[in-house]
Amino acid sequence: MEILDILKLVLGLALFLYGMDVMGDSLKKSAGSSLKSTLGKMTSNPISGFLLGLIVTCVIQSSSATTVMVVGFVNSGTMTLLQAVGVIMGANVGTAITAWLTALAGVGQDGAEVVDALKWLKPDAWMPVLALIGICLIMFVKRGRKKDIGVILLGFAVLMTGMDVMSDAVSGLEGVDKILLMFDNNPLLGVLAGLILTAIVQSSSASVGILQSLTTTGVITYGMAIPIVMGQNIGTCVTALLSSIGANKNGRRAALVHLYFNIIGVVIWLSLFYLFDWIIGFPFVSRITNMWDIAIIHTVFKILSVLAISPFYKLLEKLACITIPDSKEDAEESVNLLDERLMETPAVAVARATEVTAVMADISCRALYSSLTLFDSFDPKVAEEVRTLEDKADMYEDALGSYLVKVSQNGLDARDSKQVTKLLHMIGDFERISDHAVNILESAEEMKEKKLEFSKEAQRELGILRAAVKDILELTERAFKENNVELAAEIEPLEQVVDDLRDQIKRNHILRLQKSECTIEHGFVLADLLNNFERVSDHCSNVGGCVIEISSYDALDMHKYLASVRHGSEAYDEQYKEYSKKYSI
């Protein structure tokens, strides 16, 4: 073996892995919204799960990436372990498409002798065109899907160039045939070699590509290739197993389902293959393979494994649960709502963060609704619930803030970047709403401790204000969860009505003070309540304005937005009049 050929082989492998990594990342990024909608339709139907796993893996060109996402979904509680089984099976079949793409490097090597036109099918003929288009899109398009497509094309060109370099290097290496002949009579050694190679490069697609390049030596037979390919399918499970470290039990079980599926498939089909070869003798075992043969072996093995194991998919779940059994403490195990494994596909991570923000919004609103009931009848249990919900809201804000900042560093498309901006602004407003819920609770506690009671007129006025605050809160939560611009537009006029009610109640309180119907002590508590109600409506206004600005104008200028709706907007004036009439004191 010459040192220059070895260095050339290393160069080819580096180009191949880099091209695959760049192409895969760009595919995931450009398919962001599609992945969100596709992965959001997970059901308990194993067939639909299989198809989803197949489609997503074909799109992102990596079963490891899909399986890591599945581990993240199961760990975060958005997918059950049983749902994950079907998706993992589909991912295993979907990754075979890469082997067919890399096999293009061998097109025309034999066929050109028969049909000269086949030479135009070789990558050498059209890869420069793809590379040129790709680099032009990268250099002259600032951002967006076209730029991502350019990176995909250039990444594919680099990948195929790496394949060619590896093939040329391998053909020049002496002694490779002697090493490869070791696997001819020892299939277990072949399985182990495929497993170790794939575990090292962290990609079955890459290791299959390496095997395809080795076929140019002319010594790789079916008898050598079959066990190596099967070992490669076991080795690809290492990535998912590593990603499951630190996950909850169901997350680790999902990684084990991937491992067991491939191990069982290898045991079944490798045993049957050599059993029938011993009985009847397959004539093709000693036949020399090419790149297309490796792709066929890879695909046939995966399809046969699915056919053999899919009828017993529930047993895979049980086997994983037996391996990692439940304990009594698991009933109280909290779900990791935001899993960093999902950042492998930023669009999915953003979608998950949006779902968790909706949970946070619900928690904050529930805290405020509960605090409003304490003026009708003070209940210590409700008071404790408000404080618990406020603590949860704080926890959610911290977790979401850190998660969204990390996601934003992973390279987002324009749509997901806007969504992250929106969420980062909104989580602060939702957290402050829960803080005001505690402030309102403390005012109720003060009245109970001091045995204070508002006059009937003050109670009536506060009842109207509380109804308006509850209304604006419900409107805000719906507008955010539905991303409904029309609902968000109704928030600002109602916020102005809340401000008017606050001012009017203050004036009425001063009149009651003059008539000795209220005391200064009542006034302190009332002032605190009015300020908190008004602040809650302000935060609702922020959320509504954010929904409108980001969704409609791709910007976030709240001052400009508020100025525009409050001056010269007929819709605003009409809704303001309706709310003023509805909540008239």
Q: Residues 29, 149: one domain?
A: yes
Residue 334 maps to a domain = no
Q: State the pLDDT at residue 126.
A: 64
**Do 342 and 349 contact (CB within 8 A), yes or no?**
yes
Q: Which residues, at least 6 apart from 345, have a Cβ–Cβ distance to it below 8 Å?
A: 28, 32, 35, 60, 65, 69
Query: In the block, which residue shows the tokens 């760009």?
Result: 26
The CATH code of the domain that includes 441 is 1.20.58.220
Of 291, 325, 359, the residue at which a domain comes to its end is 325
Distance CA 450, CA 459 (A): 17
Residue 335's pLDDT is 44
Q: Are residues 318 and 353 both part of a single domain?
A: no
Q: Say whether both 360 and 234 belong to one domain.
A: no
Q: Give the integer Cα–Cα distance in Å for 92 and 72.
A: 17
User: What tokens appear for 191 in the block?
Assistant: 């399985």
**pLDDT computed for residue 114 by the predictor:** 37
Domain co-membership, 197 together with 86: yes
Alpha carbons 44 and 49: distance in angstroms, whole number? 7
Contact by Cβ (8 Å): 70, 88: yes
305 and 426 part of one domain: no
CA–CA gap between residue 59 and residue 555 (Å, rounded): 31
At 50 the pLDDT is: 85
Q: Cα torsion for 374, 378, 384, 388, to the nearest 10°?
A: -10
Cα–Cα dist 92/79, whole Å: 18
Answer yes or no: is 249 within a domain.
yes
370 with 301, same domain? no
Q: Which domain holds residue 548?
A: 344-582
Tokens 């498939």: give the residue. Answer: 265
328: DSSP letter: G
For residue 48, being part of any structural domain is answered with: yes
pLDDT digits (tens, 9 = 90+) for 213-242: 778 777 788 888 889 888 888 888 877 787
Among 325, 358, 389, give the residue marking a domain's end.
325
Amino acid at 536: V
Residue 336 forms part of a structural domain: no
Position 113 scores a pLDDT of 44
Looking at the structure, do residues 290 and 374 belong to the same domain, yes or no?
Answer: no
Judge residue 559's burial from the number of C-beta atoms within 10 Å of its C-beta, 0-12 exposed, 13-18 middle, 19 or more buried.
exposed
Return all residues near 61 (Cβ < 8 A) that are at least 6 apart. Answer: 20, 23, 24, 27, 95, 97, 98, 205
Give the C-alpha separation, 48 to 38, whole Å: 11
Instruction: State the residue for tokens 């809340």.
Output: 498
On whether the CB atoms of residues 272 and 257 are closer than 8 A, the answer is no
Return the ∠ at Cα 304 (arms to 298 and 310), rounded to 5°.
Answer: 125
| 333, part of any domain | no
| Domain co-membership, 307 together with 437 | no
Q: What burial class does residue 335 get, using C-beta atoms within 10 Å of its C-beta: 0-12 exposed, 13-18 middle, 19+ buried?
A: exposed
Number of domains comprising the chain: 2
Q: Tokens standing for 532?
A: 């908190």
Contact 240, 74 (CB under 8 A): no
Closest residue by Cα to residue 572 from 463, 506, 508, 493: 493
The confidence score (pLDDT) of residue 219 equals: 77
The candidate with the shortest Cα–Cα distance to 338, out of 256, 430, 237, 427, is 427
Domain contains 235:
yes
The answer on 392 and 243 residing in a single domain is: no
Task: Going residue by residue through the chain, which has 585 residues, state the pLDDT in tens, using 9 for 90 and above.
Answer: 467 767 877 787 788 777 767 766 676 666 555 555 555 555 556 778 888 888 877 766 667 667 777 776 777 666 778 888 888 888 888 877 777 776 665 554 444 443 344 444 455 566 788 788 888 888 887 766 777 788 878 887 887 677 667 656 655 555 544 555 566 567 888 888 888 877 776 667 777 877 887 787 777 888 888 898 888 888 888 777 876 776 678 778 888 998 999 999 999 999 998 898 888 888 888 888 888 888 888 889 889 988 998 888 888 888 988 898 866 444 334 445 677 777 777 877 888 888 899 999 999 999 999 999 988 888 899 999 999 999 999 999 998 999 999 888 877 777 788 889 889 989 999 999 999 999 999 999 988 888 888 888 888 999 999 999 999 999 999 999 988 888 888 999 999 999 999 999 999 888 888 877 777 888 888 889 999 999 999 999 999 888 887 665 555 555 555 555 555 567 788 888 999 999 988
- Both tokens of 314, joined, read 């529930």
Task: Convert 101-122 to b/e letters by CB count within 10 Å (16 or more is b).
Answer: bbbbbbbbeeeeeeeeeeeeeb
d(CA 550, CA 584): 33
Is 332 part of a structural domain of the chain? Answer: no
* pLDDT at position 360: 93
Shared-domain flag, residues 435 and 393: yes
Together in a domain, 318 and 385: no
Contacts of 475 (CB under 8 A, 6+ apart): 487, 490, 491, 494, 540, 544
pLDDT at 334: 40
Query: Do 365 and 293 reside in the same domain of the chain?
Result: no
Count CA atoms within 13 Å of residue 404 on its CB side.
Answer: 25
Q: Name the amino acid, one letter, at 380.
A: P
State the first-to-last Cα distance of the chain, in angstroms, to the nearest integer.
93
Domain membership of residue 512 (yes or no) is yes
Round to whole Å and give the CA distance between 289 and 218: 8
Global pTM value = 0.63
